[in-house]
A = this chain, B = another copy of it.
Amino acid sequence: MSERVVPPAARRRRRPTKQGVVLSEELIVETALRLIEEHGADALSVRRLGRALGADPSSLYRYFRHTDDLMLAIADELIGRTMRTWRPTGDWVADLRDLGLRMHAGALAHPRAAVLSSYRVTGRAYEIQAVETILGVLRGAGFPDAEAVRVYHAFVDQALAFGALDGASAAMPRPAQEAEDDVWRATYARLPADTHPHIAATARHLVADMRRTSYPAALDLLLSAARARLVAD
């Protein structure tokens, strides 16, 4: 085995698969994303990906050292897609709000990649570009360097963390999701006011609120606190 993975630049001798496909890092990443989009995050395994590509699973290890590596490549592609369609307006709060919602939506569609990219640094091209852009927005808004980094970090992690969780929730089978709803309606909403006064008093809101993601609310809180801190200087 020794060194399985060849740096992309040195790739030359492309040879078609038994089924006639010419592999490449891009093709693998794209196929992986298509697989996730069409059949859910759980449908992504090395073996299934190989099957979808028309290649032996072990061939993929010529391009990625292990699954994590592949996930990071997917994550970077997702970052790229998110940033590609984003246009800043100059209003930093509105811009970051929009970007946060986009990141969240992207992560939500690809929870497994999101979960990885949230605690891993890809160090790849699109990630670097995103870091530079967001830091630019914050420094442009007037945040001093240390504070800009702190807000950047909290902002990004919040978007990715909520994205990963809401994605996992959305990936649950339909009946399971309805069962969750039922817990709020059947268990929580029926607790007597004398033993659980606060739940009883807010039951109506709980049932309505807990079925949605709380990310937009959390994002607004974070951004408004950051703005308040900026003004306070």
Contact = CB atoms under 8 A, between A and B. Distances in A.
A123 B153 CA distance: 33
Contacts of A115: 115, 165, 168
B119 A169 contact: yes
Contact of A222 (B118, B131, B136, B222): B222
Interface in A138-176: 139, 145-146, 148-151, 153-154, 157-158, 160-162, 164-166, 168-169, 172
Given A222-B222, A225-B221, A206 B165 contact: no
A210 interface: yes
Interface in A164-190: 164-166, 168-169, 172, 180, 183-184, 187-188
**Chain A binding surface, main DSSP class:** helix
Contacts of A166: 119
A157 B217 CA distance: 11
Contacts of A164: 161, 164-165
Chain A interface size, under 10 / 10 to 19 / 20 to 34 / 35 or more: 35 or more
B153 A196 contact: no
Contacts of A154: 214, 217-218, 221
Interface stretch (A13-21, A50-58, A197-205): A197-205
Given A115-B165, A164-B164, A120 B201 contact: no
Interface of A: 115, 118-121, 123, 128, 131-132, 135-136, 139, 145-146, 148-151, 153-154, 157-158, 160-162, 164-166, 168-169, 172, 180, 183-184, 187-188, 191, 196-199, 201-202, 205-206, 209-210, 213-215, 217-218, 220-222, 224-226, 228-229
22 contacts: A115-B165, A119-B169, A119-B172, A120-B180, A121-B184, A121-B210, A128-B196, A128-B199, A135-B198, A139-B198, A145-B205, A146-B205, A146-B209, A148-B205, A150-B205, A150-B209, A151-B217, A154-B217, A157-B213, A158-B214, A161-B164, A218-B222
